[in-house]
Chain A
Amino acid sequence: GQQLNQSPQSMFIQEGEDVSMNCTSSSIFNTWLWYKQEPGEGPVLLIALYKAGELTSNGRLTAQFGITRKDSFLNISASIPSDVGIYFCAGRRDNAGNMLTFGGGTRLMVKP
């Protein structure tokens, strides 16, 4: 099955810095989702995007649904140590029910 291309694979940043990661696909998705997985836990949904061009925030997190419906971006502002984890993008097509396609993940490490 198709995977989403997520980049970067990993980031090591200083506390207080802003973070950007993105996800691209060769085909269209109708919904874009961003999950975070903390060490030893399963992924948890952060943000869901349903409309092309949509920009949605959740605290210091902002995500965008690309206008072509083939990409999405996640930004984290003023990073803190508890932002550490693996961030996954996921896409869903309307004809796929609840089935999601996941990106490879971005491992974020924050230096205090």
Chain B
Amino acid sequence: DVKVTQSSRYLVKRTGEKVFLECVQDMDHENMFWYRQDPGLGLRLIYFSYDVKMKEKGDIPEGYSVSREKKERFSLILESASTNQTSMYLCASVLAGLTDTQYFGPGTRLTVL
């Protein structure tokens, strides 16, 4: 069965801390994505990766970076967390090519105090 897991369901951090959000998929998918979800704004793409060590900026990359050292793992990094980064973060993966079924993880709700 398809599975995308995220390292934490809930996370509380302080302003200025470095934060790592981890995502792992077991489907050998090439493409992986990080979104943030805010009420009324839907899902907005932060970064995506189409292969190991490859990354592309999405619509709202400011304040974030990513790392993809292995195919199954895609990490989102907040170098210096700020309160406006309090949000739900969703990871997704999909096979390369025109496959529309993005498989999502359960999300990490991050609160920055």
Which A residues lie at the B interface, using CB under 8 A? 1, 3-4, 6, 9, 31, 33, 40-45, 48, 88, 90, 92, 94, 97-100, 102-105
Contact = CB atoms under 8 A, between A and B. Distances in A.
B110 interface: no
Interface residues of B, number: 31
B103 to A, nearest CB: 8
Given A42-B4, A97-B50, A98-B102, A3 B41 contact: yes
A41 to B, nearest CB: 6
A48 B102 CA distance: 11
B107 A99 contact: no
Interface string B86-113: 0000101010111111111111000000
A103 B106 contact: no
Contacts of A33: 100
B59 to A, nearest CB: 3
Nearest to B43: A102
Contacts of B104: 41-44
Interface string B31-63: 101010001111111001010000000110000
Nearest to B29: A98
Given A42-B107, A100-B102, A88 B42 contact: yes
A18 B35 CA distance: 31
A1 B105 contact: no
Contacts of A31: 100
Contacts of A3: 41-42, 44
B40 A105 contact: yes
